[in-house]
Amino acid sequence: MVFNIGIDLGTTNSAMAVYDDESESVQMVENFSGDPTTPSVVQVLEDDVIVGKDALANQERYPDRTLARTKRDMGSDTTYEIDGTEYPPQRVAGYILQKLKEDAEESEFGDDVDGAVITVPYYFGGSARQATEDAGTKFADLSVFRLMNEPTAACYAYGYQEESDETLFVYDLGGGTFDATLVEVTEDEIDVIDSNGDDELGGENFDDELYEFAREELIDRGASDPNESKHTKATLREKVKETKEQLSGREDAAIAYPTRPTISTRSSCRGLSSTT
C-alpha cells in the first residue's frame, strides 16, 4: 500500500506521523528500532552512511565523520568535508529523510511512501525552505507536498483546530532553537500572528554550559583537560546531556565519567533547574 507521512525534521531529533484512516487519528510512526524519534545525526563511513541512533552512539568513535545539528545551516553556503567530498546541509537532511522513509516503509502503515509534509521553523527564509524541499525531492526520492511551519503543526497535533476561535502561544524549546509563536486558530485555518525566538538557543546550549562545568571540575580534580581529545570531549558531552535529562525528573544526578572522579551535580547547579 502506498501512503504519505508527516515529518518533523528537527535539529536534534526527527519524527514521523501518519493519518490513520481507520481510527481517524494521527499516529506516530516508530522507526526501525521501535523508537518514536530518530536522532538527526549522519555518519559518513568509508563504505556506508549511518543515520540515527547508531550514528549518535558512534559519534565518539568517528568525530570527524559525524554530522549533527546541520539544520542550523540549512539554506546557507556551508558544506562539511569528509574524505574530500563536500556535503551541503540539504544532502545531510536528505540522508535523514531517506532513512525515515525506509523505516516508515518497514512499518505497519504500508509498503511504499509516496510523499511527505515536512515541518520547518517559522523563521526559515526562502533558501532554507528550498533546501528542505530539495533534501526530500532530490536526495530522498520523496514528493514534498507541503512545507508546514512547526508551530502550525504543533496546533494540528494537539487537535486545537476542533476548538474554534482561540489564540494560542506555542513554545518550542528544541535542541538548537527556541521559538515562541502566537497562533490564531479558527475552525477553518491556523494562522501564525507572529513568531520570535532565538535560533542559537536550545538544549545544546544547556549541554555546553554543563560541559564547561564538568570540565572545570575534572581539571580541578587533577584529570587531564577533556578538550585535548575529540573522543573524550564527545564522551563527556554525551554524559552531561544524559545527566541533564535525568535532572528533569530527579533532584540530583551524577555524571558517570569513565575516569577516576565522579562529579555530583544538583539540579540547582548554575541555575539549570530544568530544561525543555
Binding positions for Mg ion, rule: CB under 5 A: 10, 174
Give, in order, the Cα–Cα distances in Å from 208 to each of 110, 176, 205, 237, 267.
41, 12, 5, 8, 16
CA pair distance 247, 17, nearest whole angstrom: 29
Does residue 275 bind ligand ATP (CB under 6 A)? yes
Does residue 10 bind ligand ATP (CB under 6 A)? yes
Nearest to 239 by CA among 255, 215, 261, 258: 255
31 binding partner (options Mg ion, ligand ATP, none; Cβ < 5 to 8 Å by kind): none
Does residue 181 bind ligand ATP (CB under 6 A)? no
Residue 178 C-alpha cell reads as: 527556541
Does residue 59 bind ligand ATP (CB under 6 A)? no
Give, in order, the Cα–Cα distances in Å from 162 to each of 33, 127, 251.
33, 33, 38
Does residue 13 bind ligand ATP (CB under 6 A)? yes
Q: Which stretch binds ligand ATP (CB under 6 A): 4-12, 125-133, 139-147, 261-269?
A: 4-12
CA pair distance 77, 224, nearest whole angstrom: 37
Does residue 99 bind ligand ATP (CB under 6 A)? no
Nearest residue to ligand ATP by CB is 203
Does residue 127 bind ligand ATP (CB under 6 A)? no
Residue type at 133 in one-letter notation = E
Q: Rule CB under 6 A: which residues touch ligand ATP?
A: 10-13, 71, 172, 174-177, 202-204, 241, 244-245, 248, 275-276
